[in-house]
Amino acid sequence: MPRELTGTHVLICFVGFFGIVFAVNAVMVKAAMSTFGGVQTTSSYKAGLMFGQDVARAERQDALNWQVNGKLSRDHGGNAVLDISVRDPKGVPVNGLAAQARLAHPADERRDHLIALNDASAGRFRGMTRVEPGQWELIVDLYKDDARVFRSRSRVMLNSP
């Protein structure tokens, strides 16, 4: 004799189906929230207001015609080593600068690494950090008298040590 489908069975199937859907959604939301490193811009409005200043800053940087070269490599201990040289249009090292560098993870800002740069010589900076292999964005800022005069952003690939 076939089993009879009652209203109770339909209700249990209905509640069970949506219970599974809600449980899977809860797991997916939890996974998404735990892996999301944050937004790039906290306020699009404020970023829009700053656009004119960013354009003027970029024009001043272009007018300097500096030759800024950077080399990111691994040493024997597996550390990422950054060497930067800054020269004016005539090839003379630029003095009186302070430098900051950061390896920014493309998807998760919690994985960013600051690189402490030291003056190696006139117009040269060197620093190192421990960082895992992968694709990174290298951001180098040069300051003169506490004002940023140069910014470079470039994608780099670090291989395994």
Question: At 32, which amino acid appears?
Answer: A
Region 104-124 average pLDDT: 90
User: Which single residue is written with the structure tokens 């449980």?
Assistant: 23
Q: From 2.60.40.10, 2.102.10.10, 3.40.50.300, 3.30.590.10, which CATH number describes the 66-158 domain?
A: 2.60.40.10
Contact 151, 68 (CB under 8 A): no
Report the pLDDT value the prediction gives residue 118, as an integer from 0 to 100. Answer: 92
Reported as type and span, the H/E element at residue 115 is: strand 113-121
**d(C-alpha 119, C-alpha 110), whole Å:** 27
Q: What is the mean pLDDT of residues 58-62?
A: 94
Q: What is the pTM of this model?
A: 0.71
What is the residue extent of each domain of the chain?
66-158
The residue ranking higher by pLDDT, 108 or 128, is 128
The pLDDT tens digits of the residues spanning 3-47 come to 899 999 999 999 999 999 999 999 999 988 887 766 667 788 888
Helix (H) or strand (E) holding 61: helix 51-64
Of 108-112, 131-135, 136-140, the one with minimum mean pLDDT is: 108-112
pLDDT at 135 over 90: yes
Q: pLDDT tens for residues 67-79? A: 999 999 999 888 9
| Average pLDDT over the chain, rounded to an integer | 91
